[in-house]
Amino acid sequence: MHEPYLLCLKCGERTTFARMLNNCPRCGHDLLDVRYDYAAIAREMPAQWAQRPFGLWRYRELLPLRNPANIVSMGEGGTPLVQSVNVGTMLGHDHIFIKDERQGPTGSFKDRQASLAISAMKEADVMEAVVASTGNDANPCSITAPCRSFTAAIALTNAGGEVVVLAGPSGVGKSTLSTALAISDSLCVSQATSGRPAPLTSCPPALMTLLPR
């Protein structure tokens, strides 16, 4: 069993990754990076991975979720690499490949992050969250969320989660409005949504990291 730990990027404090943390327990800094024993995983896990379905959760030992029972998935990942002969010819390279994310469950390149985000929220017993998006994030979140009776208040989409169309004064962005909505309803708000860098404790970059308000 490979036990990851959380590393505070300010003071260097190490904390066992047993649950999600938004702040360093020592200094309060809000950027925590999850670290893995990559050498041990490289020695021991490839044989097991080869026996699993080809997708995002094939590599769950390298994802910040502690209990596989909390996985919420519609089959994300495993999209093909397609060789682009024409682009290769134009650039003078024979081996140009494009990752075709259109073949994910919703056709969005953020299908993976939605699966991990909802799974992480399930593990943290979070039942409501706000997502500010123009579509790439909102579509997979709004479709994945109902898979676990989860309420996702989605800005600017209409694909299954509870839809909240945010409108405000000119110059006020959807992130500002969705953050205000989350705070007013005592929901969770992404640090990225609130205009701050998303910490890596709960999920990889660009994932909805949760801040109880």
Q: Note the pLDDT tens digit of each residue in 52-109.
A: 999 999 999 999 898 999 999 999 999 999 999 999 999 999 899 999 999 999 888 8
Instruction: Identify which of 26, 56, 60 has the alpha carbon closest to the alpha carbon of residue 41.
Output: 60
Query: 183: closest CA among 147, 148, 213?
Result: 213
- Tokens 């999209």 -> residue: 79
- In terms of CATH architecture, what is 63-74+107-212? 3-Layer(aba) Sandwich (3.40)
Q: Which has the minimum average pLDDT: 115-124, 156-165, 169-178? A: 156-165
pTM of this structure: 0.71
| Contact by Cβ (8 Å): 123, 105 | no
Give 21-44 pLDDT, tens digit per residue: 888 999 999 889 989 999 999 999
Q: Give all strands (DSSP E) within the chain, no chain letters.
A: 5-8, 14-16, 32-35, 81-83, 97-99, 128-132, 151-155, 188-190, 210-212
Where are the chain's structural domains? 63-74+107-212
Take residue 192 and report the two structure tokens written for it.
């990225």
Residue 80 is classified by DSSP as: P
pLDDT of residue 208: 32
